[in-house]
Structure 1
Amino acid sequence: MHARRRRIDLPHATLSALEWRPSTESGPPVLLLHGGGADSAALSWGEVGPALADAGHRVFAPDHPGFGQSPSAAWTLTQENLVRHVGELVDALELSDYAIAGLSLGGGMTIGHLFDRPAGARTAVLLGCYGVMPRLADGPLGRVTHLASFLLLRSGLLAAMTRSYARNASAMERGLRDLVRDPRARTPELVDAVAVEAANGTGLATFGQWQRDQVQWNRLRTVYTERLPSIRTPTLFVHGTRDSGVPLARIEKASELLPDAALLTVPEAGHWVQRDRPDLVIPAMIEHLRRSDDAATARP
């Protein structure tokens, strides 16, 4: 199934978005939010979107402002701006009784949206989710690792290192090994697509704005953990056991805090979990959407 690319005009930005339409719409519409860095709607959701459409869902996957084919917004990329952006996007698409899913940065946007509009989404899926840990790393060296990352970010060295990395195909492939652990999923086509996005897009620079907003010297500015029990939306967490960015223990705790949550632990998968193991992740997402649809139908 081929995606249709469409333009979405918002008060603060113009977005480019992919849309998959089912032959028969039998489930709620789904909004998919991609991650940060050299990511885009096509890179994160190119396999997921058509599969969800085949299951009867109309699917929207926008490029965030400054990522993919979307120009930058008039404002700086902060967590608060991104959460407000999701609400404006939902309004522009005229979504009601919808499902929402987000990867990493998009997962944090999803959580923020669930707080912002608690009666909006029918159900949610959080993959490799941001916003549930106080620092960039756990463990004995977690504080040191976080401080070192802060200094690299504030000095500009991290941006310079990232630009150099983006121009080196071998380095790009090595970096993807942490995100996509299965070498069969880490195809030459995927490596090339990420390299093109990194070299030609503005996502890395845009993501740097968000990082400077979020990474303080001793902690991350946005940590949603204490507020999670207030989320009543049925939520599926999806997380790889070899995710080096977000420890599985943080996601296990988060899933326990939500009143209505399930956790799919994906063996040997990395942070880009739906690219690593689509054979497990996509069916789980479809089943979660089906259950939420059944539950909504059963309500009086």
Structure 2
Amino acid sequence: MSEWMIDTDGVELCTESFGDRSDPPVLLVMGTGASMLWWEEGFCRMLAEGGRFVIRYDHRDTGRSVTYEPGRPGYTGADLVGDAVGVLDAHGIPAAHVVGVSAGGGFAQLLALDHPDRVLSLVLISTSRAVAGDRELPPPTEEFMRFASTAEVDWSQAASVIEYLVAYSRVLAGGRRPFDETAVRDLVRRDVERAHDFAAMRNHDVLPDGEPSREPLSSISVPTLVIHGTADPMFPFGHGEALAEEIPAAELLALKDAGHGVDRADWETIVGAILTHTAADERA
């Protein structure tokens, strides 16, 4: 395991790798407002022990990567997609298996559409389509919307931010499984303490999309695995079903009673699915 700073087109990003560089590369793309810590170290090590060279990184305005003034990010969602290319370049990797969760799954789709030569396969977790489609998608749950509209937080106080993010994580968990508040609180605390400016994570909420991809999801040609919890409150299960229908030959793995994100209870299942999915390229 090694953490280091890279420079991609003048933008400093923090990245970390696990495993043997000679193994098939897996790039992990986190959702917005969250650093690479949310790809937990134990999860990354399980993938590496399965014979994969694993890379995680901090998005801009998270963790130790470049931080902008809160409310004035000066970059777009398209730039975050481009950062993924920059991370691969910095590691000398022509193409990788790309695993994205939440908004990171959207970035992964756009990466496959805009830079198809850099993507060997896709794994899309707890996400929705990044470009328009014909199927109507279900809205977030009432509980999720109620939290989003009523939760209060003082972004100048770390303690307030931690309480808010723990409560948000509880809602995202979906309510059908026990919620490990101790583990989540520890992760949130480390994420907040590690950030240059934890208030800057809100910049992801106001990003313009940048240049939209003109290609439909049906033009994605790489093997794709969609993993989705049946209790996801942000992107209900119909979002995963739509992705699996619209991306050619995509497979859908349903996680019973799982909410939004990568729950520790599902690590073995998700890691096993990723290893199997990414091994298909080796067999080819």
Q: Which residue number in structure 1 is paired with residue 205 of structure 2?
A: 211
Unaligned runs of 5+ in 1: 215-219, 296-300
For 2:269 and 2:196, locate their aligned partners in 1 and report how far apart those are by CA, in whole Å.
31
Q: Deviations over 1:63-122 (max 9, x none)?
A: 112211222269624211111222222222221242111111211111111111112211
Residue aligning to 1:63? 58
Point out the more displaced range, 241-250 or 165-174: 165-174
Q: Which residue of 2 aligns with 1:217?
A: none
Aligned to 1:138: 139
Distance apart, 1:137 and its partner CA: 6.9
3-state DSSP of counterpart to 1:52? helix
Query: What residue in structure 2 maps to residue 191 of structure 1?
Result: 185
With over 3 angstroms needed to count, the CA separation of the structure-2 counterparts of 1:40 and 1:210, relative to structure 1, is closer
- Rounded Cα–Cα distance in structure 2 between residues aligned with 1:285 and 1:187: 27
Change (3 A) 1:14 1:233: same
Aligned 1:1-300 pairs, distance under 5 A: 3-22=1-20, 25=22, 27-37=23-33, 39-72=34-67, 76-132=74-130, 138=139, 161=153, 163=155, 167-168=159-160, 171-180=164-173, 182-183=177-178, 186=180, 188-198=182-192, 201=195, 205-213=199-207, 227-295=216-284
CA shift, 1:277, in A, is 1.6
Native 8 Å contact 2:141 2:233 kept in 1:
no
Identify if the C-alpha distance between structure 1 residues 164 and 97 changes in structure 2 by more than 3 Å, giving closer, same or farther.
closer
Q: CA deviation at 1:190?
A: 3.0
Contact 2:24 2:96 in 1 (8 A): yes
- Name the amino acid aligned to 1:188: T
Q: 1:122 to 1:227 in 2, by over 3 A?
A: same
> What one-letter code is carried by the residue in structure 2 that aligns with 1:239?
H
Cα distance change, pair 173–117 in 1 and its aligned pair in 2 (3 A): closer
> How high is the TM-score relative to the length of structure 2?
0.81
RMSD of the alignment, in Å?
A: 3.6
Q: Is the 8 A contact 2:138 2:238 kept in 1?
A: no
Give the Å deviation of 1:248: 1.1
Q: Which moved more, 1:102-111 or 1:68-77?
A: 68-77
SS in 2 for 1:49: helix
Query: May I ask how many residue pairs the two structures share in their alignment?
Result: 274
Q: 2: distance between equivalents of 1:227 and 1:162?
A: 40
Q: In 2, are the aligned partners of 1:21 and 1:53 still within 8 Å (CA)?
A: yes
Counterparts in 2 of 1:45 and 1:21: CA distance versus 1, 3 Å: same
Q: Which runs of 5+ in 2 are unaligned?
A: none
Identical pairs, percent: 25
Q: Cα 1:292–1:260, aligned 2, differ >3 Å: closer, same or farther? A: farther
Secondary structure of the corresponding residue to residue 221 of structure 2:
coil
* Residues in 2 aligned to 1:137 and 1:207: alpha-carbon distance in whole angstroms: 27
CA distance in structure 1 between the aligned counterparts of 2:276 and 2:26, rounded to whole angstroms: 13
- Assess, with a 3 A threshold, how the Cα gap between structure 1 residues 287 and 244 changes in structure 2: closer, same or farther: same
Deviation at 1:227, TM superposition (A): 1.2
Conservation of the 8 A alpha-carbon contact between 1:240 and 1:273: no
2:38 counterpart letter in structure 1: L
Gap change, CA 1:12 and 1:272, over 3 Å in 2: same
What SS does the aligned partner of 1:7 have? Answer: strand
Match of 2:183, as an amino acid? E
Q: Deviation per CA, 1:13-58: give whole Å up to 9, x if none.
A: 1111111123x84x41111111222x22122242221111111111
Structure 1 residues 276 and 163: CA distance shift in structure 2, 3 A: farther
2:195 partner letter? G
Inter-CA distance 132–112: structure 2 relative to 1 (3 Å threshold)? closer
